[in-house]
Chains A and B, each alone.
Chain A
Amino acid sequence: MSLAEEVELLRRIPMFANVEISKLKLLAFTSERVSFHAGDVLFQQNEMGSSAFIIVSGEADITVDTPGGPLVVAHVGRNDFIGEIAILCDVPRTASVVARTDMTTLCISKDLFFRMVTEFPQMAVEIMRVLAQRLENTTRQLQEAVSGAKPG
């Protein structure tokens, strides 16, 4: 896959949808393409993260450790952006990600990600929008869960 195709792929990710093509090209060029075999661990819960991944192809399970062993909480696949929380907030990984099939990803290092964000404010705004949306979703889900749990 060449740079041009990677740029196409990045455009389909909501966070980058409104970012200029030339910036996406720069992001693609400066990030590293990394492939994983099925069963490989992209990253482990509670480790400090140094990079985020954009899935180019393949699927992965997101798991969290529970007293009863790892629990799969979500699936991610093509075009998903994962691992950004740890590099944005400097917290340990909140979950593990394990490749379910062979995967190809774009690996964006923390330095690179921050430099892109500071260099290109519109990218930062997009990221903010996506994160805010996620927060809004989570809040609504929580509200629904809370009101659903109320008797009557």
Chain B
Amino acid sequence: MEKSIFRFVLRYSTRQQVVILLLTLSSFPFLYYSLELPKQIVNDAIGGQNFPKEFFGYQFEQVPYLVLLSLLFLTLVVVNGVFKFRINTLKGRLGERMLRRLRYELYARVIRFPLPRFRKVSQGEIIPMITAEVEPLGGFIGDSIALPVFQGGTLLVYLTFIFMQDPILGAAAVSLYPFQGWLIPRLQRKVNQLGKQRVRAMRQISDRIGESVSGMPEIHAHDTSAWHLADLSHRYGDVYDIRFEIFQRKFFIKFLNNFINQLTPFFFYLIGGYLVIKGSISFGSLVAVLAAYKDLAGPWKELLDYYQMKEDIRIKYEQVIEQFDLPELMPAALIAADADPGQRLTGAMVFSNVSFGEDTGPKILDNVSCTLPLDAHTAIVGGPGRDEFAMLVARLLMPTGGRIRVGDKDLSQLPEAVTGRRIAYVGQTSYMFTASLRDNLYYGLRHRPLKPSELDERAQAEWKRRAHESKEAGNTDFPLDADWIDYQAAGCDGPDTLRRRTMEVLAMVDLSDDVYGLGLNGTLNGENCGDVVKRILEARTALRAELAQPSMRSLVEVWNPERYNNNATVAENLLFGSPVGPVFAIDSMAENTYVLEVLEKVGMTGDFLDMGVQVARTMIELFADLPPGHQFFEQFSFISSEDLPDFQPIVAKADKDGLDSLKPEEKRRLMALPFKLIPARHRLGLMNPDLERRLLEARQVFARDLPDALRGCVEFFVEDAYNAASTIQDNILFGKVAYGQAQVGGKVGRLMAQVIDELGLRETIQEIGLDHYVGVAGSRLSRAQRQKVALARGILKNPDLLVINEATAGLDGASQSQIHNAILEERQGRGVVWVLHRPSIARRFDQTLVLRGGQLAEHGSYQDLDKPGTVMHELLAAE
């Protein structure tokens, strides 16, 4: 990368800089004339004599002449404004483009970092560099050339003028410039050093904050928050000191500059005055020089500001660049090059005297030579060095000695378009991206945009504009909304075959049931799901028939508009629907004026208050003794531990002075409680047939009087309609699973599965499960699920070589053996390199490599190696 900001600016924006400069210069005459014109208007038009005056060959009387000059003035104002607007726009655009280019380049470099580098730099340092630290550069770049040239030029013009008036006065005017030119950079140097310190200190702070975010459970688990707070406080203190020092020095420089600038007039008055008195120069010249000198201050100050800013930016740029300008970056061509779709790896991967080690440390792998056939299965056991071995095979690491060949090519020379597509690597912990499960599964198929999305004319034009803009900033113009999925690579011919293939692969990695479960808890969100809706309603009907059997009747309490549902909350019973958005969410029911209105209409306000008091009383009785924050609060209590003390006086007051004595706010808090009540679960004995009857009445009133504005906030339960706000499971059940039945969850689940399978809905539901959002870094999946997704992702890629690095170690035994069988079966006759966490699994592999101390200790078939005296035998015995 360019070592200095100016080289960067010149390399990518010389043309634009010249345009800005020319435009700036050409604006100058207009600006100058607009300063001159008012004088003309006052002196010639208003105070002038000798009319008519001649203007461009025309004769003008006084008033028309005034009008003419005033109009001219107005025109100049507009012209100047337009100039300024254009120049600023150009500068802004240039700055933004260059900033975009710089950020893109930095990010592209992060991608090219060799993996071991990420052990040394944390994301807490990298992110602010790319985001915050380079931000001020954009504002500077537009001005970087034009401003010094323009202001310097202005300064020169004034100086020339002064010199032409009188060389001695001219010399006096510039006499202090050499001193200033010597002193200010000297003072600035210290500021620069402080600036560097500030950047370093801020980076460490963001690193620490990042670390705290990742290590938050440890902080709480060990009560170390005070230590962390002190650490940060200390660091903020350092930054404060640095910044304060910078302020002081910066303003001192300004002060000094101002002082020196005022010193020169002092000489003018003294020397110039003396010369006038002595008659060496005319009085007029002195006045003119003084006026010109006053104008010098403007550009001079601008130049000083520019200089300080330039220094600041220069340091920022250099400090960022040095972190990204590494000698050992992966060659850009390896990453950028595309490959033929049909290109395959064939033959075998051959390691010749391969070594690997960090810069200074000992060699982790030493002189390993072996052959990994791409049509057979190789097991790696033993260690250390097996992680590195697997990563070398997948070209995630480059050997520090020796050579790896695949077929007739050097592995390290192959572009990532080949290694990343033809080799799949699944490690012990695999990263999930914050997207849907489907996106994560198809992640390994997204190499290049393959089929542009169909755009209408306007979108097309918009896309072209954006692509052009990307190019201008040196960014890639690959369209993000194109279809990136490489169906062909996965061995499929389109979305449908890929879908089928996905289901197969999910079964291989024992994920089908999980995805089915996610699907049941998912909602439909596409537009073209009319058919799915129809089939889910069929399932509802079929399940209803099953539940009609006497032995099943008690399992689910079905929604019935005429009946109170004892297994649902009071809120659900009232709404008789699912809330959409926050308006009718269970926690805000008591704050909703419409809900309160409905309760009032059926005369239930008092009942709710009454129930609220009883619930609150019970909660206080049950939970008041528990320490605050006890798990029971979250699990069982209607009232959180923080709120519980608030309720004690409310209940006491209600008991003593009656419900009417309560303030509206207190009433509201009490009324919020009964909404959460599930009679069958909580068994508080608060509901009775009369209350149920009136709640049913409220249910009807609620639906009948619902204002149009709120209609979108609730999706009612309708016997033969799909409820888009509910999960698939709730739609099929159309009721609540009953509390208090033995193993009811399992029974209902089996019954549902039976209905779903009979209707051939399972795959559809799994499809919906694939839309499950996996959360930040896959946090909404279990560890085992994440590993299974990673395996599926690797297999879906249909690679020539599948590298698995202990990826199944964290799974339970049954899953493990099922997945091992399925994968080895699937990869029959194709390359597998599997680092095994248990050597005994090697029995099923064509060959086994045994590592010991970073060297290849033994290799051969399992039968050959499993003999007394071998390393393999030892490993097996130790298992």
Set B632, B681, B683, B742: member contacting A115, Cβ < 8 A: B632
7 A-B pairs within 8 Å (CB atoms) are namely A1-B683, A2-B685, A29-B618, A32-B681, A33-B740, A34-B741, A36-B742
Interface centre among A29, A34, A35 (most CB of B within 10 A): A29
Please indicate the chain A residues that have their CB under 8 angstroms from the CB of B740 in the complex.
32-35, 104
Establish whether residues A33 and B739, one from each chain, have CB atoms under 8 Å apart when the complex forms: yes
Give Cα A104 to B741, complex, Å.
9
Closest 3 CB pairs of A and B: A2-B685, A36-B742, A33-B740
Any chain A CB within 8 A of the CB of B708?
no
Inter-chain contact B622/A22, CB cutoff 8 Å: yes
Q: How far is the CA of A26 from the CA of B618 in the complex (A)?
A: 10
Closest to A3 in B: B683
1/0 per residue, CB under 8 A from A, across B540-582: the answer is: 0000000000010000000000000000000000000000000
Complex: A1 Cα to B622 Cα, angstroms: 18
Given contacts A25-B622, A35-B740, contact A30 B635 (CB under 8 A): yes
| B627 to chain A: closest residue by CB | A119
Contact residues in A for B681 (Cβ distance below 8 Å): 32
CA distance in complex: A93, B817 (Å): 27
A3 CA / B623 CA spacing, docked (Å) = 15
**Range, interface on chain A:** 20 to 34
A6 at the interface (CB under 8 A from B): yes
CB B637 to nearest CB in A, in angstroms, measures: 9
Q: Are A34 and B635 in contact (CB under 8 A)?
A: no
Docked pose: A30 CA to B635 CA in angstroms: 9
Residue of A whose beta carbon sits closest to that of B624: A22
Is there a chain A Cβ closer than 8 Å to B171's Cβ?
no
Q: Is B682 an interface residue (CB 8 A)?
A: yes
A4 within 8 A of B: yes
If A3-B684, A22-B621, A25-B621 touch, whether A115 touches B739 (CB-CB below 8 Å) is: no
Say yes or no for A40: interface residue by CB 8 A criterion: yes
Partner of A33, one of B618, B683, B685: B683
Pairwise interchain contact B632-A30, C-beta atoms closer than 8 A: yes
> In the assembled complex, how far is the CB of residue A101 from the closest CB belonging to chain B, in whole angstroms?
14
Decide yes or no: A29 and B739 within 8 Å by CB, A1-B683, A4-B685, A115-B631 being known contacts: no
Complex Cα spacing A30 to B683, Å = 11
Q: Is B463 an interface residue (CB 8 A)?
A: no
Within 597-651 of B, Cβ neighbours of A (below 8 Å) are at 618, 621-623, 625-626, 631-632, 635-636
Greatest chain A CB density within 10 A among B631, B683, B685 is at B683
Interface string of B657-698 (1 = CB under 8 A from A): 000000000000000000000000111110000000000000
Give chain B residues whose Cβ lies under 8 Å from the Cβ of A26: 622-623, 632
Contacts of B618 in A (CB 8 A): 3, 29
Which residue from chain B places its CB closest to the CB of A26 in the assembled complex? B622
| Interface bracket on B | 20 to 34
CB distance from B623 to the nearest CB of A (A): 7
Chain B residues contacting A32 (CB-CB under 8 Å) are 681, 739-740
Inter-chain contact B682/A40, CB cutoff 8 Å:
no
List, in ascending order, chain A residues with CB within 8 A of B636's CB. 29-30
Q: How far is the CB of B35 from chain A (nearest CB, A)?
A: 84
Residues of B contacting A4 with CB < 8 Å?
685
Q: A-facing mask of B736-751, CB < 8 A → 1, else 0? A: 0001111000000000
Residues of A within 8 A of B741 (CB): 34-35
Chain B positions within 8 Å of A25 at CB level: 621-622
CB-CB < 8 A to B742: which residues of A?
A: 34-37, 40, 42
Given known A-B contacts A22-B621, A32-B740, A119-B626, A2 and B631 have beta carbons under 8 A apart: no
Residue of A nearest to B631 (CB): A115
A99 CA to B625 CA, complexed, in Å: 37
Chain A, range 15-45, C-beta contacts under 8 Å to B: 22, 25-26, 29-30, 32-37, 40, 42
Mask of B717-743 contacts with A, CB within 8 angstroms, 1/0: 000000000000000000000011110
Bound form: Cα–Cα A36–B742 in Å: 6
Contact with B along A37-80 (1 / 0, CB 8 A): 10010100000000000000000000000000000000000000
Interfacial chain B residues near A40, Cβ < 8 Å: 742
Given contacts A35-B741, A35-B742, A36-B742, contact A2 B684 (CB under 8 A): yes
Task: Scan B761-790; emit 1 where CB is below 8 A from any A CB, else 0.
Answer: 000000000000000000000000000000
Which residue from chain A places its CB closest to the CB of B621 in the assembled complex? A22
B742 CB to nearest A CB, Å: 5
A40 to B741, CA, bound (A): 11
**Hey, what's the 0/1 contact readout for B215-239 against A, CB within 8 Å counting as 1?**
0000000000000000000000000
When A34-B740, A34-B742, A119-B626 are in contact, do A6 and B621 touch as well, CB less than 8 Å?
no
- Residues from chain B with Cβ under 8 Å of A36 in the complex: 742
Partner of B683, one of A6, A35, A119: A6
Give the Cβ gap from B580 to chain A, nearest Cβ, in Å.
31
Interface centre among B622, B625, B684 (most CB of A within 10 A): B622
Rounded to whole angstroms, the CA-CA distance of A57 and B313 in the bound complex is 81
Query: Once bound together, how far apart are the Cα atoms of A29 and B638, in whole Å?
Result: 12
Q: What 1/0 flags go to A71-110 for Cβ under 8 Å of B? A: 0000000000000000000000000000000001000000
Contact call A22/B632, Cβ cutoff below 8 A: no
- CB A145 to nearest CB in B, in angstroms, measures 36
- A67, B741: Cα distance in complex, Å: 32
Residue of A nearest to B636 (CB): A30
Which single residue of chain B is at the shortest CB-CB distance from A29?
B622
Residues of chain A within 8 A (CB-CB) of B739 are 32-33
Q: Complex: how many Å from CA A6 to CA B740? A: 14
Shortest CB-to-CB span from B616 to chain A, Å, is 14
A42 and B636 alpha carbons, distance in the complex (Å): 24
| Complex-state Cα separation, A8 to B142, whole angstroms | 82
Q: What is the bound-complex CA distance between A3 and B683, given in angstroms?
A: 6
**Are the C-beta atoms of A2 and B683 separated by less than 8 Å?**
yes
* Distance of B630 from chain A, by nearest CB (Å): 8
A35 to B742, CA, bound (A): 6
- Distance of A36 Cα from B551 Cα, bound (Å): 12
CA distance A34 to B625 in the complex (A): 27
Give the docked Cα–Cα distance between A24 and B267 (Å): 97
Chain A residue, CB-CB nearest to B686: A2
Q: A33-B739, A40-B742 are in contact. Are A3 and B685 (CB under 8 A)?
A: yes
Kindly list chain A residues whose C-beta atoms are within 8 Å of the C-beta of B621.
22, 25
In the complex, chain B residues whose CB is within 8 Å of the CB of A1: 683
Taking CB atoms, residues of chain A closer than 8 Å to B632 are: 26, 30, 115
Known contacts A1-B683, A2-B683, A35-B740; can you find 9 more A-B pairs with CB under 8 A?
Answer: A2-B685, A3-B684, A22-B625, A26-B623, A29-B636, A29-B682, A33-B739, A34-B741, A37-B742
Residue of B nearest to A103 (CB): B742
**What's the least CB distance linking B627 to chain A, in Å?**
9
Q: Measured between alpha carbons, how far is A34 from B740 in the docked complex, in Å? A: 4
**Complex Cα–Cα for A30 and B618 (A):** 13
| B682 partner residues in chain A, CB cutoff 8 A | 29
Min Cβ gap A7→B in Å is 11
**Residues of chain B within 8 A of A2, CB atoms compared:** 683-685
Distance from A127 Cβ to chain B, minimum over Cβ atoms (Å): 19
Closest to A111 in B: B631
Write the chain B residue with the least CB distance to A99.
B742
Chain B nearest CB from A1 CB (Å) reads: 7
